[in-house]
A = this chain, B = another copy of it.
Amino acid sequence: MKKGIMQVPAGVSNRHVHLSQEDLEKLFGAGYELTKLKDLSQQGEFAARETVSVIGPKGIIEGVRILGPVRKETQVEISRTDGFRLGIDAPVRQSGHLEGTPGCLLVGPKGVAVLEKGVIVAAIHIHMSPSDAQKANLKDGDKVTVFIGGQRPVTFHEVLVRVHPRFRLELHLDTDEANAAWLNNGDKVWMVKDQQSLSMVG
C-alpha cells in the first residue's frame, strides 16, 4: 500500500430493514421465510423480494427492501433525509448498537410490527477481509479517512474499519453521503490510513 493509500469500491446503502423471525412472522404470517431477490456483495447476505412500509409520526415510506437472512433483532436503517420525512430522529450508530434508538411502525401484507427501538442511520464503515487488513496494516476497529474525487470532492473522516473473514473489501455509506459526494454504487474511492487532513484544523 503505497504511502498508506488504497482504493476501495463503494457500496451505497439505500434504506432497508433487517427483521427478526418474530417480526417477519408478524408482517408476513406464521412460519414465513424470506425469498431471495439477489445476493449482496457481503457473503451470505441477500436482498429479499419482500418489502415493508416504514411509518413515523410525520410520514410513511413504502416499498422499503428487507435484507436477509433474519437477525436476532430487527433493525431499520434510514438516511437522515428519510428521518426528516418520517419524523424520526434516528442517531448515527454502528449496526447492532440499538440501545436507546427510536422505534417506528412497520406494515406488511399480513400485519404490523410496532418497534420500540431499532431505527438508526448507519455509520460509514469499510468492510475488509483479514488479508486486506494485513495488506493495509489495519485492524478491526481502526479508523481511516476516505477521499472521494469527482465533481463533488469530499473527504469522510473517522471511517470505521470492520475486519471479518466473510467480509469483502467495500466502503458502506448511505444515500446522503453518496449523494453529497456524487458517488454511485461500485465507484472507487481512496482510503487513506493517516488522518493528515484533520491535523490542519486541530
Contacts and interface: CB of A to CB of B under 8 A. Distances in A.
Overall SS of chain A's interface: mixed
A142 to B, nearest CB: 16
Interface in A116-175: 124, 147, 149, 151-158, 175
Contacts of A181: 180
Contacts of A92: 151-152, 182
Contact of A190 (B152, B176, B180, B201): B201
Given A92-B152, A155-B157, A196-B196, 7 more contacts: A84-B175, A153-B157, A179-B180, A180-B180, A180-B181, A192-B200, A196-B197
B197 A80 contact: no
A157 B158 contact: no
Band of interface residues on A: 20 to 34
A37 interface: no
Given A155-B157, A197-B155, A201-B190, A182 B80 contact: yes
Nearest to A175: B81
